Amino acid sequence: MEGESIAEVVARLRLWCSKPDYGFARVEWDSVYSRTEVLRRLRDAGLPITDIELPRGGDPYKTVCDLVDRLRLPDVRIASITGMEWAYPEGGRVLDLLSMLSFRRETLASLPLQQIWWIPATITPDFVIGVPDLDSWFRIKLHLTEVLLPLAGTIMDTIPSLGWTVDEATALAKRFWDRHEKAASIGVPATQIWTDLAAPAIDALQAVGLREQAGEIEALFPGERVIRARAIADERRNQFGPDHPETLLALLNLAVAIVDRGELRAARRLQEKVLDTSQRTLEPGHPVVLSAASNLAATLSAEGDHASARALEEMVVEMSTMRFGPGHPATVAALGNLARTLANQGDLDGARVIGERVLDRTQKRLGPDHFGTWRAMQNLAVTMLRQGDLNSARFLLEQAAAATKKQLGIKHPFTQTVMSNLATTLANLSELKAPEAPDHPDTLLTARELGTLG
């Protein structure tokens, strides 16, 4: 496994945690100070991380049972799990703990949250060789090799505290361009170059709206995303069977890759199959059922079938509310999806009611200075603009514009979108002087085009 710096580990974990996913990430570490710095930066980025330290010298069975109970609590969304190097009795072996974790791996994997497991490099051989079945379940495997020492009076560089930044995405892209030719020249397989270098850079660039730069990298690997996703789905099917949640998740990822290629009909058929299987084999409200329904709804909406999309999204909202509660991130995200679909159907009043609910719950959960809150403001403001309620839209957009310029910078694509919408709003209000919106081809909007936002 290639070594990663603090910045690279932060970037990979942030990207993973920003997705509606669940499961395990494994991070080997050599320096406890570096590990602490990664967690600090992730928290500064607004990620709701819960620290769980396994007890020293505990009985492995009780330790794992207590861990499962802690992870089941409704307040845990992203768990950082440490202490594996000492969570076994004196005279015992770390392999005893790892074997118990492997025994409960299906239970751990079924929990609707993301788990970051911190593995000291000294016990990695026990982990990889001793419990290969457990190791195979990790979605992300990183090795934090940068050693950070505590220096008195030193202020470490920090990443911007809110949202995914352009600088971080371009840093991952630079890493790709610096390394991919060398990797190819020494015989590293194209699939590994894609997984380790290209895919993280592409995902990050797309996340900040730098689609052209992402396309330049993806053009070097025609069809690789679909090929790799299909291979993983086949591996999961052979390992777990066709109806296992891991297999179904892999098939959903394959469908996303097919959507990205523009093949909506093929993606829809696969998503319909996964949804049908998950509803037959899993309990209502299972994360795989929710993901399958949400993904299918998005594809149906892209095809113009907003009525079918709405029915699915209403189902997701109901199941998510029953399973997780009304303020859980999964429920709030489902409400946001439903609001967009209602707006696409022309039900602007309904979209506004739900959009206001999303903004209220997001502010309560994340606070006013978080990217998620600004995105909720932006989406609600667009609905207000389409209703003709320009003053209300202006109020929200001015708040979002001030915050995003300060925290993300004027060049961030989201800041540009907010500023462009504010400029349009002020122009429609016949303001004498509208703010200067960045001259960006993706964000200069007219009132007619506002209907496509949200």
| pLDDT at 326 > cutoff 80 | yes
Tell me whether residue 55 is in a domain.
Answer: yes
What is the reported pLDDT for 342?
A: 95
Ramachandran angles phi, psi of 200, nearest 5°: -60, -40
What whole-number distance in Å separates Cα of residue 454 and Cα of residue 451? 8
What is the reported pLDDT for 200?
A: 74
pTM of this structure? 0.58
Burial (CB < 10 A; 0-12, 13-18, 19+), residue 83, is: middle
Tell me whether residue 129 is in a domain.
Answer: yes
Asked if residue 88 and residue 13 are part of one domain, the reply reads yes
Asked if residue 175 and residue 76 are part of one domain, the reply reads no
What whole-number distance in Å separates Cα of residue 294 and Cα of residue 310? 10
Residue 182: which residues within 8 A CB-CB, separation 6 or more? none
Lookup result for tokens 């990889």? 128
Tell me whether residue 89 is in a domain.
Answer: yes
What whole-number distance in Å separates Cα of residue 255 and Cα of residue 271? 7
What is the reported pLDDT for 160?
A: 30
pLDDT grade for 210, boundaries at 50, 70 and 90: confident
pLDDT grade for 345, boundaries at 50, 70 and 90: very high
Residue 402: which residues within 8 A CB-CB, separation 6 or more? none
Please compute the mean of the pLDDT values over residues 41-62 and round it to a whole number: 84
Asked if residue 146 and residue 17 are part of one domain, the reply reads yes
Mean pLDDT check: name the lowest of 213-222, 240-249, 294-303, 347-356.
213-222
What is the reported pLDDT for 158?
A: 26
What whole-number distance in Å separates Cα of residue 419 and Cα of residue 182? 41
Asked if residue 142 and residue 15 are part of one domain, the reply reads yes
What whole-number distance in Å separates Cα of residue 404 and Cα of residue 236? 41
List 25's β-bridge partners, or say none.
116, 140
Please compute the mean of the pLDDT values over residues 420-435 and round it to a whole number: 74
Tell me whether residue 36 is in a domain.
Answer: yes
pLDDT grade for 381, boundaries at 50, 70 and 90: very high
pLDDT grade for 90, boundaries at 50, 70 and 90: low
pLDDT grade for 231, boundaries at 50, 70 and 90: confident
Nearest Cα to Cα of residue 268 among 218, 307, 228, 305: 305
Asked if residue 12 and residue 123 are part of one domain, the reply reads yes
Say if CB 227 and CB 211 are below 8 A apart.
Answer: no
Tell me whether residue 114 is in a domain.
Answer: yes
Domain that holds residue 24: 1-150
- The residue out of 150, 182, 198 marking a domain boundary is 150
Q: 57 vs 230, which has greater pLDDT?
A: 230
Ramachandran angles phi, psi of 429, nearest 5°: -85, 5
| pLDDT at 431 > cutoff 60 | no
What is the reported pLDDT for 446?
A: 35
Asked if residue 178 and residue 206 are part of one domain, the reply reads yes
**What is the number of alpha carbons within 13 Å of residue 305 lying toward its C-beta?**
14
Burial (CB < 10 A; 0-12, 13-18, 19+), residue 52, is: middle
Please compute the mean of the pLDDT values over residues 327-349 and round it to a whole number: 90
Task: Provide the domain count of the chain.
Answer: 2
Q: Supply the Cα-derived Rg of the chain in whole angstroms.
A: 23
Mean pLDDT check: name the lowest of 100-114, 137-151, 272-286, 402-416.
137-151
Please compute the mean of the pLDDT values over residues 361-381 and round it to a whole number: 86
Tell me whether residue 42 is in a domain.
Answer: yes
What is the reported pLDDT for 165?
A: 60
What whole-number distance in Å separates Cα of residue 112 and Cα of residue 126? 27
Asked if residue 183 and residue 122 are part of one domain, the reply reads no
Asked if residue 106 and residue 144 are part of one domain, the reply reads yes
Asked if residue 172 and residue 70 are part of one domain, the reply reads no
65: domain CATH number is 3.40.50.300
What is the reported pLDDT for 409?
A: 79
Tell me whether residue 211 is in a domain.
Answer: yes
Q: 15 vs 158, which has greater pLDDT?
A: 15
Please compute the mean of the pLDDT values over residues 421-449 and round it to a whole number: 57
Tell me whether residue 289 is in a domain.
Answer: no
Mean pLDDT check: name the lowest of 105-119, 141-155, 304-318, 337-351.
141-155
Nearest Cα to Cα of residue 209 among 409, 382, 40, 366: 409
| pLDDT at 18 > cutoff 50 | yes
Q: Decide: helix, strand or coil at residue 52.
A: strand
Asked if residue 174 and residue 137 are part of one domain, the reply reads no
Residue 452 structure tokens: 């496509």
Tens of pLDDT, residues 169-183:
777 788 788 778 777
Ramachandran angles phi, psi of 19, nearest 5°: -95, 155
Residue 105: which residues within 8 A CB-CB, separation 6 or more? 133, 134, 137
Nearest Cα to Cα of residue 131 among 97, 107, 108: 97
CB atoms within 10 A of CB 13: 25
What whole-number distance in Å separates Cα of residue 237 and Cα of residue 287? 19
Alpha-carbon distances, residue 435 vs 100, 106, 207 (angstroms): 60, 54, 26
- The residue out of 202, 219, 236 marking a domain boundary is 219
| pLDDT at 108 > cutoff 50 | yes
Please compute the mean of the pLDDT values over residues 360-383 and round it to a whole number: 87
Asked if residue 6 and residue 145 are part of one domain, the reply reads yes
List 4's β-bridge partners, or say none.
144
Asked if residue 171 and residue 111 are part of one domain, the reply reads no
